Amino acid sequence: MTSSAMATARSASVSAAANDPLTNVQLKYRSQAVAKPYFVAAIGLFVGQIVFGLIMGLQYVIGDFLFPAIPFNVARMVHTNLLIVWLLFGFMGAGYFLIPEESERELHSPKLALITFWVFLVAGALTIVGYLAVPYATLAKITGNDLLPTMGREFLEQPTITKIGIVLVALSFLFNLSMTVLKGRKTSISMVMMLGLWGLAIFFLFSFYNPDNLVLDKYFWWWVVHLWVEGVWELIMGAMLAFVLVKVTGIDREIIEKWLYVIIAMTLISGIIGTGHHYFWIGAPAYWQVWGSVFSALEPIPFFMMTLFAFNVVNKRRREHPNKAAVLWALGTGVMAFLGAGVWGFLHTLAPVNYLTHGTQITASHGHMAFYGAYAMVVMTMISYAMPLMRGREANSNAAQVVEMWSFWLMTVAMVFITLFLTAAGILQVWMQRMGDTPLSFMATQDKIAFFYWLRELSGVVFFIGLLLYIVSFFVRGNERASA
């Protein structure tokens, strides 16, 4: 045979192996393959999130677009809830993939993992259908919100029965992973991952506390929202990044795990009291302006360390991993998380600044880049590393990686522009509506900054093209490399 014929034959046998976990030589443990449906679902829901983001972006400038079929509040609920759910699918997939490998044993119950997957997917889909099909008040009524009212608070809009479902799914997932860890090798990466995931489940329980007292409601609402995204989620993120970096750089695990501990130590040291930056104007005592400003000003540090960490270990790498795309995602996560969560968070976190920017497009700009840079990108880092392995190859073909890298740059640059345009809109909003002797009304201000909303929407279209290209990258063929 010629060498090209051999390559074709090898590539054919590789693709045959790809669909059969029994013969997949790339996976150290067969049960890691349960992560695949989780990642596929995550990407599918990600597409839905962006579609609704584009709808909302258009409603910002063409106010009656799709009204009354999809009012803005419904689109927003779908946009943010899909984000949360696809990231959770990503975290769960990451957990199922990395915990067996770290523990050096098969997953406790792959069957339970698959049942959990379908339960979560169906519950999630039904919830989204509920948002879109009936008025929210009707959804509240038919799901028995009166028995235990938890609905109608930002990001926690899910019907109470969905919330209970989320708890059950999380328990099943945590049971499965914890049993695996307990019976196997315990590494720092797996311990941090488990701590983050348990924390996620425990702090979610505060979503069931909804007192009539608005201040108490808001105060403890942040125990879910802030202690998730600026607390335990960062542990999950750190563990995922550390896992991938161990694999793609070949750097001694001791060094990477030391970095991991230092980063997450700074995360919690700054981030827990940093919750105070949400307590400035919601009725909590004024001393939170000091506590919140000082500690949240430290919150960029762990993100900056994450960037240093990623670049440091990649520069000192001991091997050339063929999956260049995964390395790019890992480096990008560090940089974009620092910019979005760290820099854009710091921008408006000091109380005197926040007094003017609170609840404006500045907040929206930070939210977009932080969620993309930290959590969307770390999930895509994990998918980029793990998906080729689950498909029976160490890395995708060069052609597929080139497409994936294009999608990386399109999405990332588009998100930078979305953030910049929202920041511009926010600065003008603060200037016109909140500063000066003759402030404009909210809607008059919105009309004046519409130009920036149009630019944001255009950037959103570019982001969507990047996302479609990302999906295309999974179907690009070429000489796939079965081994390094």
Partner 1 sequence: MSASFTKSTARNIFYGGAVFFFLLFVALTLDTVQALPKRDNRANLTEQVARGKKLWEVNNCIGCHTLLGEGAYFAPELGNVYQRRGPEFIKAWIKAQPTGAPGRRQMPNFHLNDAELDDLVAFLKYSSEINTNNWPPNIEG
**28-87: which residues touch partner 1 (CB under 8 A)?**
56, 59-60, 62-64, 67-68, 71-74, 76-77
Q: Residue 381, interface with partner 1 (CB under 8 A)?
A: no
Exposure string over 346-358, b if 16+ CB within 10 A, otherwise e = bbbbbbeebebbb
* 402: CB partners within 8 A, 6+ apart: none
Q: Which helix (H) or strand (E) holds 120?
A: helix 110-133
Instruction: List alpha helices for 206-323, DSSP H.
Output: 214-227, 233-249, 253-274, 288-297, 300-315
Number of chain positions touching partner 1 (CB under 8 A): 78
Q: Which helix (H) or strand (E) holds 159?
A: none
Q: Residue 219, interface with partner 1 (CB under 8 A)?
A: yes
Taking the C-alpha atoms of residue 86 and residue 88, their distance in angstroms, rounded to an integer, is: 5
For residue 118 the two structure tokens come to 């379908």
Tokens 């997450």 map to which residue?
Answer: 264
Minimal distance in Å, beta carbon 282 to partner 1?
5
* 95: CB partners within 8 A, 6+ apart: 173, 177, 193, 197
Q: Residue 448, interface with partner 1 (CB under 8 A)?
A: no
Of residues 30, 105, 153, 317, which one binds partner 1 by CB under 8 A?
153
- Beta-bridge mates of residue 481: 395
Based on CB atoms, which residue is closest to partner 1, 51 or 119?
A: 51
Of residues 7, 188, 454, 471, which one binds partner 1 by CB under 8 A?
188
Q: Residue 457, interface with partner 1 (CB under 8 A)?
A: no
Q: Considering only 42-50, 101-109, 147-155, 167-175, which stretch makes contact with partner 1 by CB under 8 A?
A: 147-155
Taking the C-alpha atoms of residue 406 and residue 372, their distance in angstroms, rounded to an integer, is: 17
**DSSP-derived secondary structure letter, 395:** B
Of residues 16, 115, 137, 182, which one binds partner 1 by CB under 8 A?
137
Cβ proximity of 260 and 243 under 8 Å: no
Tokens 């550390």 map to which residue?
Answer: 242
Q: Residue 233, interface with partner 1 (CB under 8 A)?
A: no
Taking the C-alpha atoms of residue 208 and residue 128, their distance in angstroms, rounded to an integer, is: 20
* 314: CB partners within 8 A, 6+ apart: 245, 248, 249, 327, 330, 331
Based on CB atoms, which residue is closest to partner 1, 108 or 226?
A: 226
Based on CB atoms, which residue is closest to partner 1, 179 or 356?
A: 356
* Farthest CA pair distance, the chain: 83
Of residues 213, 290, 320, 477, which one binds partner 1 by CB under 8 A?
213
Based on CB atoms, which residue is closest to partner 1, 102 or 257?
A: 257
Minimal distance in Å, beta carbon 133 to partner 1?
14
Of residues 47, 164, 167, 272, which one binds partner 1 by CB under 8 A?
272
Residue 291 burial (10 A CB sphere; 0-12, 13-18, 19+): middle
Of residues 103, 207, 349, 360, which one binds partner 1 by CB under 8 A?
360
Minimal distance in Å, beta carbon 430 to partner 1?
9
Of residues 175, 434, 455, 476, which one binds partner 1 by CB under 8 A?
434
Of residues 269, 301, 402, 420, which one binds partner 1 by CB under 8 A?
269
Q: Residue 96, interface with partner 1 (CB under 8 A)?
A: no
Based on CB atoms, which residue is closest to partner 1, 23 or 213?
A: 213
Phi and psi torsions of 461, nearest 5°: -65, -40
Based on CB atoms, which residue is closest to partner 1, 67 or 451?
A: 67
Based on CB atoms, which residue is closest to partner 1, 1 or 254?
A: 254
Based on CB atoms, which residue is closest to partner 1, 22 or 286?
A: 286
Based on CB atoms, which residue is closest to partner 1, 28 or 439?
A: 439
Taking the C-alpha atoms of residue 470 and residue 410, their distance in angstroms, rounded to an integer, is: 10
Based on CB atoms, which residue is closest to partner 1, 125 or 216?
A: 216
Q: Residue 371, interface with partner 1 (CB under 8 A)?
A: no
Q: Which of residues 283-302 bind partner 1 (CB under 8 A)?
A: 283-286, 288-289, 291
Based on CB atoms, which residue is closest to partner 1, 42 or 56?
A: 56
CB atoms near residue 464 (< 10 Å): 18
* 483: CB partners within 8 A, 6+ apart: 394
Minimal distance in Å, beta carbon 24 to partner 1?
33
Length of the chain: 484
Q: Which of residues 292-351 bind partner 1 (CB under 8 A)?
A: none
